[in-house]
Amino acid sequence: MTKSVALLLGVHAHQPVGNFPEVLQDAHARCYGPFIRTLYRYPDFPFALHFSGWLLDYLLRHYPEDMAMLKKMVHRGQVELVGAGETEPVLAVIPNRDRIGQVVALSDKLEKKFGQRPQGAWLTERVWEATVVPALADSGIRYVTVDDYHFLCTGKEASELNGFYTTEEDGRRLDLFPISEALRYRFPFSPAHEAVKYMESLAGEGQEAAIYFDDIEKFGIWPETYEWVYEKGWLEDFILGVLASPLIRPMKFSDYHAEAHTRGVVYLPTTSYIEMNEWTLPAQAANTYADLVQEAKSKGFFDRDKAFLRGGIWKNFITRYPESNWMHKRMLQLSQRFHALPERKKSKEMLELLYQSQANDAYWHGLFGGLYLPHLRRAIYNAIVALEALLDKVAARPPVIIEDLDFDGRKEVFIHNDEIQAVARQDGSAAVCELDAYLLRHNFGDTLARQSEHYYRKMHLDQDTQHAGEGVANPHERVSFKHHITQSDLLLDDVQRMLFLDSLVDGEAVTPLRNYVLRPADDHATHVTFSCEQGNVLIDKRITVSGKRLRVSYQFNGEMQGQFQTEINLAMPSCDGPAGRFVFNDQIPGGFGQALRFEKAKKLDLQDEVLDGGISLHLNAPALIQSQPHFSVSQSEAGFEKIMQAVTLTLTWPFSSHIKELIVDVDVHRLGA
């Protein structure tokens, strides 16, 4: 009897919460739409499909005809719908109650919209920790897909990974399918006939199942793939080749799971896919890891030893990037507040905002922009700020709260009212790391410091690498440049980008003030005061919120020399686009992406049409205000690029005998208000 191999093919479709409408439209035009319409013509080709909840809602609203087609494919038994967390969170880094809630929310949606409740789940970024097993099992999930690499790390041989295994945690069972790395790198990058021939060779070797589950965006959105997959017919040729082969049986995961038996028990280590193990490490460690991998490949023992060349784990992103850690701890803070409410005070809107704040994309950075993309972080803070405002209405907080939210050993000070919130750090800087406007649902402190990245050493290449041979290039292998990058663009920040980072300037010498200490205050105060000694001078820095205004005032006790300077980094959604502008002396001198000087300024407006709001600075004494766009360099599928993270305003006052107090008022407003 001729042996055959079961092809279990699944694709995962996701767009980050808050992504630009034009990106979603392009993704549907080049990928989601043509993929569904192509597969619709071949009802004998079964496959699995996962849409994240936010993306699915968008497609149902804007492309009902394609979604109706998908529903027909589900009803005729061609498509298996796969679950996951509703907003695509990394399940391992959100509370267990939210893991269950997120998975159940998407399963309920799929059952309501398409009449099918999922048995399997997509594990975001294939981030595996055993702690997620109980939540998945309690949510009705029977199996998930992870990489074959996860299994190799247990000592399994590649030849053993031709079916599913079983694991358990806290008495809950979950079955695990190993995704083939060989197929991930072939679909759709190698010619269709070669991909089919490879699977037929697996049948000849007696393999029971060829398991593929990966991003659908590789079928049309990644560079060169739309022309390759659709215009040149890769997908159709692949389907026809599979259907014509007597050695390949395309199946749904659910059907295979129902007819096959587990191959035994397995316990996987905490890990993700191989590339992630490099991305999650700090730059120097990532380079060391990459060198070890390259050495193993060049000497021919990588395939043998790759399971033992272990890099970092996904949670390293939270330790690497203070900005990610802060978002994560703010999300945990609000999750705890929400779940502590009596049921009658909870609302559907609160829960939806909580889940949106847990979307994975803005918390990490690898081959794609992620954390480096301001609009993705803005979507997280939009949800955080909006949820906090709703929680405050039903469970009021004290006006000043002091706690070590981010676990760095130093407490932060939360000062808030119903309109705005400022969070000041007790790290010696007394700087404001978060400035929330509840009406605008925006954090003006949402910036990103420049730190070294593992891919910076690739930038000595001043030209794009080209793909050779048949097929298309895998973006993991490309080096290209979207923008011209200079050495000055790679300068690193020694502190986080915040508001009101103070310095003393004496000629060419700049002395950062990093020895502020919080002074005691009474329990009902609506402000906090920090003090620092500089020589024979005592500086008191008071931070107050009142209405829509943040006031930072400085009192100087003693004779000061030189100049006083403070740096304010503001996250403006328009960045260097045309919708952001300065207004000075009733004139528009330019936009946020320009370097500008404002002499003897006492008032400066920043207007942002994307935000439909802005900031006004009011000073009690005229200052020189210098504006500079703050860019970072990151990589994406389009190549290395510069991304504007913030508007950096530097305010400078010369000391004179009559200056004893400086006041900066930051007013938040809607445009036209």
* Closest C-alpha among 360, 271, 273, 277 to residue 324: 360
All structural domains of the chain with their residue ranges: 5-272, 454-670
Provide the whole-model pTM. Answer: 0.94
Asked if 569 and 629 count as a contact pair (C-beta separation under 8 A), the reply is no
CA distance 650 to 112: 54
Confidence of residue 468 (pLDDT cuts 50, 70, 90): very low
Asked if 237 and 37 count as a contact pair (C-beta separation under 8 A), the reply is no
Most confident of 207-211, 384-388, 502-506: 384-388
Amino acid found at 119: Q
The answer regarding whether domain 5-272 maps to CATH 3.40.190.10 reads no
Asked if 273 and 125 count as a contact pair (C-beta separation under 8 A), the reply is yes
Half-sphere exposure of 357 (CA within 13 A, CB side): 29
Mean pLDDT of 179-192: 95
DSSP state of 389: H
Whether residue 188 has a cis bond before it, omega within 30° of 0: yes
Asked if 665 and 549 count as a contact pair (C-beta separation under 8 A), the reply is yes
Q: Are strands 120-122 and 143-147 parallel, antiparallel or unpaired?
A: parallel
For residue 480, pLDDT over 80 is answered with: no
In this prediction, residue 460 carries a pLDDT of: 59
CA distance 651 to 601: 9
Q: Could you list the active site residues?
A: 125, 215
CA distance 409 to 29: 49
Rg of the chain, C-alpha, whole Å:
27
Asked if 177 and 252 count as a contact pair (C-beta separation under 8 A), the reply is no
For residue 522, pLDDT over 80 is answered with: no
Q: What is the pLDDT of the chain when averaged over all its residues?
A: 93
Burial of 396 (0-12, 13-18, 19+ CB in 10 A): exposed
Structure tokens at 663: 């006041």
Select the CATH number that applies to the domain covering 454-670 from these four: 3.30.160.270, 2.60.120.260, 2.70.98.10, 2.60.120.10.
2.70.98.10
* Closest C-alpha among 544, 512, 543 to residue 530: 543
List beta partners, residue 423.
414, 434
Mean pLDDT of 110-125: 97
For residue 469, pLDDT over 70 is answered with: no
326-373 pLDDT tens trace: 999 999 999 999 999 999 999 999 999 999 999 999 999 987 789 999
Percent helix, strand and coil across the chain, each to the nearest 5: 35, 30, 35
Asked if 536 and 643 count as a contact pair (C-beta separation under 8 A), the reply is no
CA distance 545 to 423: 11
Amino acid found at 20: F
Most confident of 61-75, 274-288, 357-371, 499-513: 61-75
Orientation angle between helical segments 322-340 and 374-394, nearest 10 degrees: 30
